Amino acid sequence: MDAVGAARPEVDDEAEVTPRDHRYPVSTRVERVTGETVVVRPSVGDFADQEVVWVGDHVQVFWRDSASVWALPAQVTTVERGAAPRWHLAVVGPAEAIQRRQAVRARLAVPLTAVLDSVDLAGEVVDLSERGLRAVLDASGDPPPPGTVVPLTVHLEGGDVTSRAEVVWHHTRGGRWGVSLRFLELSEKEQDRVRRRVFQAMREERARGSS
C-alpha cells in the first residue's frame, strides 16, 4: 500500500462512520489507531438502546486533515456497548483522498424549528451537513417514528434554511428528543450555503483545538 493509501485518522480526530445500510453517517471520535485497526467512540447517549452497527458490517470512515477529506473502507470486528460504546474497525482497503460533495459534518449549535402534527417544536442543532443533521427538540406528544417526514427550518446566521426532512432515528432524553433527520429537498443553492457554514465551523473547531 502506498503512502497515500496508508493514510489514517489520528487519535482524537472527529470521524464519520457510515454503515453500508445506514442512511446517515454517525459522528465518532477516534480513540486508537494500531496497525490496521481503528477504534472509534460514538457520542455517549446518541444511540441508547439502538443497534446501529453489528459485527461484520462494512463501513466507510471519513475524516478531514488540513488538506483533504479522506475515505477509508473498514469492517466492524467488535462492538462494545454500554455507557462508553466503542467500535473496533478493521481496515479492508486503501484510504482515498476525495472531493466530497456528500456529507461532511461539523458540530454547530444553532436553533431550528420542526413541525410535527401542526405543532412547532423548538430545538437546537447538534451537528449539521448538507445531507441532514442531528438535533434535540422539545418533546410534545409521542416521538416521531423513523420514516416520519416533517417540515424543518434551520436558523442559520445568514438566513433560514427550510426543507422537508425524514426522521432517521430518535431517542428520548429527559423532556427532549434526540433526533437524526435527513434533508429531502434541499436545493443546490441551499446545499452550498450549508456546506460553507459547515466548513467554517470545522475551521473554527480546528482553531480552538490549536490555541
Q: pLDDT 10s per residue in the chain (211 long)? A: 555 568 999 998 888 888 766 556 677 889 999 989 999 998 755 554 566 788 999 998 988 877 778 889 999 999 998 778 899 999 999 998 875 445 567 788 899 999 998 999 999 998 888 888 989 999 888 888 889 999 999 999 889 999 999 998 888 767 889 888 999 988 888 888 888 888 788 777 767 765 5
**What integer pLDDT is reported at residue 2 of this predicted model?**
54
CB 154 within 8 A of CB 128: yes
Same domain flag for 139 and 163: yes
Domain count, the chain: 2
**Domain termination site, one of 98, 119, 154:** 98
Structural domain range at position 88:
14-98
- What is the radius of gyration, based on Cα positions, of the chain? 17
pTM above 0.85?
Answer: no
Q: Domain for residue 187, yes or no?
A: yes
Cβ count within 10 A of residue 211: 5
Q: Can you say whether the dihedral through the CA atoms of 98, 99, 103, 106 is positive or negative? A: positive
Same domain flag for 162 and 146: yes
